[in-house]
Amino acid sequence: MQMKEAIKFALSVSNGVVLSVIEEMSDAATTFPTPNGGCHPLWVLGHLTLVEGVIPVALFAEKNAVEEWQQFFGENSEAVADARAYPPFAEVREKYLQLRERNLNILESLSEADLDKPTKAPPKGREREFATYGQSFLVLALHQTMHRGNLTDARRAAGRAVLAAQASN
């Protein structure tokens, strides 16, 4: 398997397992995963959208298309229970889908050799992770999968049944 195909596979799998829970939790988007708070589904979706916007920044030194959402969903933001404190769920979901599609198109346009190109503007403090085009796309998939835990915990906190994948763990 070529690296590009492996990255596309990772992005597809991570997207599927995250969006399936996001969709199911759209009616309980601000359910915290623990009694002590944490990252609820709306915050996770917005955060993932913000990170999707980082790819063109890192690769091409473009502006993040959702930079104005940094205050709501950035690394140092804290999830709040009031959904009115955020852009509407449907808007965040739509923007996520748009940015993911753009990133998949960028990836599709790259050759295997392009994956080793150094990025132009990796996020400050994340230079190692976003050092090359290929690493940047892998981080996107890994980061998304990491946040799935917040979603499945929020799902359980909302009283939903255990997912089949969780039952075997």
**What residues contact 119, with CB distance under 8 A and at least 6 apart?**
58, 59, 130, 131, 132, 133, 136
pLDDT tops 90 at residue 169: no
Whole-model pTM: value is: 0.93
User: What's the confidence (pLDDT) of residue 61?
Assistant: 97
User: What's the confidence (pLDDT) of residue 164?
Assistant: 62
Q: The domain containing residue 84 runs over which residues? A: 3-167
Rounded CA separation 86/163 (Å): 28
Distance of CA 114 to the CA centre of its chain: 23
- Cβ(63)–Cβ(169) under 8 Å? no
As a whole-number percent, the residues of the chain with pLDDT over 90 amount to 93
pLDDT tops 50 at residue 167: no
SS (H, E, C) 11-76: HHHHHHHHHHHHHHCHHHCCCCCECCECCCHHHHHHHHHHHHCHHHHHHHCCCCCCHHHHHHHCCC
Number of domains in the chain: 1
Structure confidence at residue 1 as a pLDDT band (50, 70, 90) = confident
pLDDT tops 70 at residue 165: no
What's the pLDDT tens digit per position in 17-35?
A: 999 999 999 999 999 999 9
Whichever domain contains 157, its CATH number is: 1.20.120.450
Output the six-digit token pair for 145: 């999968």
User: What's the confidence (pLDDT) of residue 159?
Assistant: 94
pLDDT tops 50 at residue 166: no
What's the pLDDT tens digit per position in 120-164?
A: 999 999 999 999 999 999 999 999 999 999 999 999 999 998 776
- What average pLDDT is seen over the chain? 94
What mean pLDDT comes out for the span 1-21?
Answer: 96
Rounded CA separation 151/34 (Å): 11
